[in-house]
Amino acid sequence: MADATEGTVCQSCGLPINAEDWPEGSERGEFCQFCMVHDAFVADRGEVKKRLADMIEKDSGKSREDAEEEAEETLSTLKRWQ
């Protein structure tokens, strides 16, 4: 079932945010619960990139190098890192 949050991605890590994944204590915003808790960032760029690369590597079967490159490209498009 589609809802208004469909297509929303975290502007820190680039992963899709589901309605139940909005950070605790935060207004529904642009970041997921893994990046932000109580309106403060809890993951730095290295952690976010590693998490994203892990996911790409696992989902796509790409090499670690390619997964990290893709993660870097994704991060460079997100608001938090501008």
13 part of the interface to Zn ion, by CB under 5 A: yes
12 part of the interface to Zn ion, by CB under 5 A: yes
CB of 4 to Zn ion, least distance (A): 19
- Exactly one of 8, 22, 23, 32 binds Zn ion (CB under 5 A); which one? 32
Q: Which is nearer to Zn ion, 10 or 71 (CB)?
A: 10
Task: Please name the residues in contact with 11: beta carbons below 8 A apart, sequence gap of 6 or more.
Answer: 30, 31, 78, 79, 80
Task: Please name the residues in contact with 48: beta carbons below 8 A apart, sequence gap of 6 or more.
Answer: 12, 13, 35, 75
Distance separating alpha carbons of residues 16 and 14, to the nearest angstrom: 7
53 part of the interface to Zn ion, by CB under 5 A: no
Q: Tell me the two tokens of residue 77.
A: 């498009």
State which of positions 33-52 bind Zn ion (CB under 5 A): 35
Contact residues: Zn ion, CB under 5 A: 10, 12-13, 32, 35
